[in-house]
Amino acid sequence: MVTRTAVAALATCAALLTATGCSSSFDDSKEPAQDKAAKQSLTVLIATSGDAETQAVKTAAAAYAKKSGNTVTVEVAKDMNQQLAQSFAGHKPPDVFYVNSDQFANYAKGGSLYAYGDQISDASDFSEQLRTSFTYDGKLMCLPKDTSTLGLAVNTDLWQKAGLTEKDYPKTWEELKTVADKLTTGGVTGLVTSDEYQRLGVFMKQAGGWVTDTDQKKMTADSPENAEGLAFVQSLLKSGSMKFAKNVDTGWGGEALGKGKAAMTIEGNWLDGGMKLDYPDVKYAVAPLPAGPAGQGTLAFSTCWGVAADSAHREASVDLVKSLTTADQQIAFADAFGVMPSRTSALTTYAERFPAAKAWVDGSAYAQGPVTIAGFDKVLSQFNTDLQSLRTADPKKILADLQRNGEQAISKGN
């Protein structure tokens, strides 16, 4: 019989895991019994971008099942964080699942992830930046399934209408300001992007700043460099040559670009799929983001293939992940739904096959990875809320608040 205390603990963990990373096991000394059968049944939970991704993962899983003899069931999450929290709390998690970088540290600290990185003989084929994003307490916990960077997407028809050519693609902040001003006319805004650090953070990086130090042990948010980056964004917002997507009645930069409300936007390689689906007749090109005072800068994003610590099929699950992350399979995923491979070797092939994505690919060499500290997702959520008022707010005040909130999270998360 389950005690009231256990029920309360399960309910609390289910409600709070995504925010606090509470443990998936109330007795960490107990290892789950492992299935030794020759043929095993595995479950995979994904948060899909659409039918193309869902079908691609199911096809890859079916190919593995045919080869291995194991059965693989792929399920699509309606609310990934909530479903994982509930499954961890109930000790019935999927065997393999997507883990976004913003929740990774919460799950790792809570003991929900099985660290299998030391079982991957060619882990070095994944870039150091990506491996670092999914390393916790010195262990590579899970393999990145793909990667994304940000570039400057340009509506080429609006560009040409303004009398601009490819030679005018901005390479510096000053040039960005010049072309944004020129492109802002009538119902068109020169630059439109989202009001969040996942886009605006590029200007902090280009100014020579970032949220934390390299080891994520110390906050570096309240710095002159970061203030310079946000102040530049603020100057564009005040001039009217830059607006946030919601201020032009759109949900994101891709929609603004597709509807002709933005001549330029800052987006990642997922833009390609969105434009093909929703705005197939809109012509656009992607250039590297302009360099700031400290040089080029962009942000990198990824998701890893997590294996549950409570899984009774760890060996088979790792075997499945190995199959899903081969170079050939990553290229197949790229063909199917536009993601960039996380393997360096596969990324080279991708670049040759998709030359229009060159700016995104090249950005991988100097991209800043995400902050992966337990509990830091709440800090960044507040930062994003503060950035919504950047046009009129004091950038230094926003950064000072980020610094204070981040220091509290670091003291608890590491």
**Chain segment 110-124, per-residue pLDDT in tens:** 999 999 999 999 999
pLDDT of residue 414: 55
Which residue type occupies 209?
Answer: G
> What three-state secondary structure class fits 342?
coil
Instruction: List pLDDT tens digits, range 33-75.
Output: 999 999 999 999 999 888 889 999 999 999 999 999 999 999 9
Query: Element (H or E) spanning 386, and its range?
Result: helix 376-387
- How confident is the model at residue 71, as a pLDDT? 98
Helix (H, G, I), strand (E, B) or coil at 391: coil
Of residues 351, 304, 339, the one with CA closest to residue 56: 339
Six-digit token string for 86 = 């509930």
For the residues 119-134, what does the mean pLDDT come to? 94
**Amino acid code (one letter) for 219:** M
The answer to whether the beta carbons of residues 217 and 167 sit under 8 Å apart is: no
Q: Are strands 96-100 and 189-193 parallel, antiparallel or unpaired?
A: unpaired
Distance between CA atoms of 180 and 189, rounded to whole angstroms? 8
- Please state whether beta strands 41-46 and 71-76 pair in parallel, antiparallel, or not at all (unpaired): parallel
Task: State pLDDT tens for residues 207-245.
Answer: 999 999 999 999 999 999 999 999 999 999 999 999 999
What are the pLDDT digits (tens) for 162-198? 999 999 999 999 999 999 999 999 999 999 999 999 9
